[in-house]
């Protein structure tokens, strides 16, 4: 076994496990020891499931030795965001009110990981109820690149653990940007699938029609493996679509020659800091060198839909918390409590106006993608914000809108996106950009991401821990 196994790519680990060069049992033990050593300061895990992991690793090793290899997650240590139900294991969703909740069933994504033979290291910390802020009683995960910088929003634990080599892949959720923000902040690859591509059964809701579950990994190839396992129809979730699931990993070598990539320079630069602009421009140059057809285009204005995101999320969050709010409002932190109160105060007329505008924007985005295949945009307006700056963001509605400008529109439309490391600030903080595609064209996003990562090494950089 490598002296430094924790930073191997998932695809590499899977191949070594398959041929017997890596032992799932020894690898799992090494990962548990690394978590024990580092996570006291990084705080990415809400719960470490050491006994479960050891048992699953032993089972995987025995199966593989007798030739019953299940696929590229078999025997690989992974982790899931602590809003995915795990039978008999606490699932708190970042909320002290649920700290003793032990589900009587697994979420579909956890079931599919188990069926693939993955090893569950534990549950990853998140903001309260998967909204913007951590509950005041729960210390947030720490960015492994620099403790003074933001570790991302809701899926912060997933971003930190994946970047720090505390799992080989993780699951995050994204309602307004919470796969993409922590992927960008921690220098990992995050895929927000099309809404309905991955079942949400057994996952705590923030806002049902905006919530997406997706992989957070160290490469596009690794994300292709994870999405291939978790995607697909689910009889327990009628919103999980019936579309067949491609072999995403097998499609990666097709590359992006001739793929039409749209660039809206005004959209990409207005209010965006120079480090982020440079990373996006550099990525466009690389994609063009790889044979993509780069085209100037004007993306539909997201201004209205970005403003509408908060009240839409708020009213759906109020529905999700109806059983415990306002009955137990005193146990909620101020951020989530404030969101729910906004939702409970929204009128039917105002909600209907939002839904009408949402339908119109979806149509505009669909029309935009008639002539192009991918859109390249920043991950966020600021390359690597500090924790202190993000703590005051809520005081300025315009700043919140700028933060959501490149993420929330694609939760509203349900469009798939991939977030890719694309550079570093002068202080050594990772910077990312996004590719966006038509619904159910995650294969194209992954091809684009993989081609970019074959030509660059940003995703291979590791934090100084």
φ/ψ of residue 314, rounded to 5: -60, -45
Q: Pick the range with the lowest mean pLDDT from 100-114, 305-319, 383-397.
A: 383-397
Residue linked to tokens 């923030």: 206
Domain count across the chain = 1
Structure tokens, 369? 């993608």
Task: Give CA–CA dist 5/42, Å, rounded.
Answer: 19
175 within domain boundaries: yes
Average pLDDT over residues 311-324: 98
The closest of 359, 357, 366 to 415, measured between CA atoms, is: 366
pLDDT in tens, 323-350: 999 999 999 999 999 999 999 999 999 9
- Secondary structure (3-state) at 424: strand
Q: Which is catalytic among the residues 23, 81, 408, 415? A: 81
Distance set, CA 309 to CA 190, 295, 358 (Å): 21, 29, 9
What is the reported pLDDT for 2?
37
List % helix, strand, coil for the chain (3-state, nearest 5): 45, 15, 40
Q: Which is catalytic among the residues 107, 178, 199, 437? A: 178
What is the reported pLDDT for 258?
98
310 within domain boundaries: no
Mean pLDDT of the chain: 97
Distance set, CA 426 to CA 160, 269, 384, 423 (Å): 21, 20, 10, 10
Banded pLDDT at 239 (limits 50, 70, 90): very high
Structure tokens, 128? 């309260």
57 within domain boundaries: yes
Residue 152 is part of which domain span? 5-295+374-460
Residue linked to tokens 């063009």: 288
Name 398's Cβ contacts closer than 8 Å, sequence gap at least 6. none
Contact 382, 357 (CB under 8 A): no
Which H or E run contains 418? strand 417-424
pTM score? 0.97
Q: Which is catalytic among the residues 23, 44, 107, 154? A: 154
305 within domain boundaries: no
Task: Give CA–CA dist 126/145, Å, rounded.
Answer: 18
State the Cα angle at 400 between 123 and 364, rounded to 5°: 95
Name 55's Cβ contacts closer than 8 Å, sequence gap at least 6. none
Contact 309, 411 (CB under 8 A): yes
349 within domain boundaries: no
334 within domain boundaries: no
230 within domain boundaries: yes
Average pLDDT over residues 369-377: 98
343 within domain boundaries: no
Contact 67, 61 (CB under 8 A): no
178 in catalytic set: yes
Pairing relationship of beta strands 260-263 and 293-296 according to DSSP bridges: parallel
Q: Pick the range with the lowest mean pLDDT from 2-16, 182-196, 411-425.
A: 2-16
Domain with residue 34: its CATH number is 3.90.1300.10
What is the reported pLDDT for 108?
98
Banded pLDDT at 1 (limits 50, 70, 90): very low
Average pLDDT over residues 267-279: 97
Query: Residue 185: pLDDT above 70?
Result: yes
What is the reported pLDDT for 3?
55
């Amino acid at each position: 076994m490598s002296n430094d196994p924790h930073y191997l790519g998932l695809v590499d680990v899977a191949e070594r496990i398959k041929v017997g060069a890596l032992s799932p049992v020894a690898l799992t033990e090494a990962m548990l020891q690394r978590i024990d050593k580092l996570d006291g300061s990084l705080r990415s895990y809400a719960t470490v499931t050491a006994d479960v992991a050891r048992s699953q690793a032993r089972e995987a090793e025995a199966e593989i030795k007798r030739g019953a290899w299940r696929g590229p997650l078999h025997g690989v240590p992974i982790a899931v965001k602590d809003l995915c139900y795990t039978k008999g294991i606490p699932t708190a969703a970042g909320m002290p009110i649920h700290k003793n909740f032990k589900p009587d069933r697994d979420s579909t994504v956890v079931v599919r990981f188990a069926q693939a033979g993955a090893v569950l290291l534990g549950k990853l910390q998140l903001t309260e109820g998967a909204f913007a802020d951590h509950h005041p009683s729960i210390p947030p995960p720490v960015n492994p690149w620099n403790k003074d910088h933001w570790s991302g929003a809701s899926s912060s634990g997933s971003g930190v653990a994946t970047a720090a080599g505390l799992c080989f892949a993780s699951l995050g959720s994204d309602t307004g940007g919470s796969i993409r923000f922590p992927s960008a902040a921690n220098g990992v690859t995050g895929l927000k699938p099309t809404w309905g591509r991955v079942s949400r059964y057994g996952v705590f809701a923030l806002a049902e029609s905006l919530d997406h579950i997706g992989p957070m990994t160290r490469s596009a190839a690794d994300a292709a493996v994870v999405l291939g396992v978790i995607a697909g129809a689910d009889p327990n979730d009628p919103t999980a679509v019936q579309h067949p699931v491609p072999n995403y990993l097998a499609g990666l070598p097709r590359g992006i020659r001739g793929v039409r990539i749209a660039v809206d320079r005004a959209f990409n630069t207005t209010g965006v800091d120079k480090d982020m602009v440079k990373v996006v421009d550099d990525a466009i140059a690389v994609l063009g060198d790889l044979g993509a057809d780069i085209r100037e285009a004007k993306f539909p204005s997201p201004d209205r839909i970005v403003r509408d995101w908060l009240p839409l999320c708020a009213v759906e969050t109020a529905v999700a918390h109806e059983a415990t709010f306002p009955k137990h409002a005193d146990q909620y932190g101020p951020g989530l409590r404030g969101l729910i109160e906004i939702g409970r105060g929204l009128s039917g007329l105002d909600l209907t106006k939002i839904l009408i505008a949402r339908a119109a924007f979806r149509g505009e985005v669909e029309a935009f993608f008639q002539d192009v295949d991918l859109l390249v945009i920043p991950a966020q307006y600021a390359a690597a914000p500090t924790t202190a700056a993000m703590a005051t963001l809520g005081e300025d509605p315009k700043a919140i809108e700028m933060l959501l400008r490149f993420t929330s529109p694609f939760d509203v439309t349900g469009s798939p996106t991939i977030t890719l490391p694309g550079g570093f600030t002068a202080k050594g903080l990772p910077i990312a950009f996004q590719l966006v595609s038509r619904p159910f064209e995650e294969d194209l996003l992954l091809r684009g991401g993989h081609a970019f990562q074959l030509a660059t090494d940003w995703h291979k950089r590791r934090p100084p821990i």
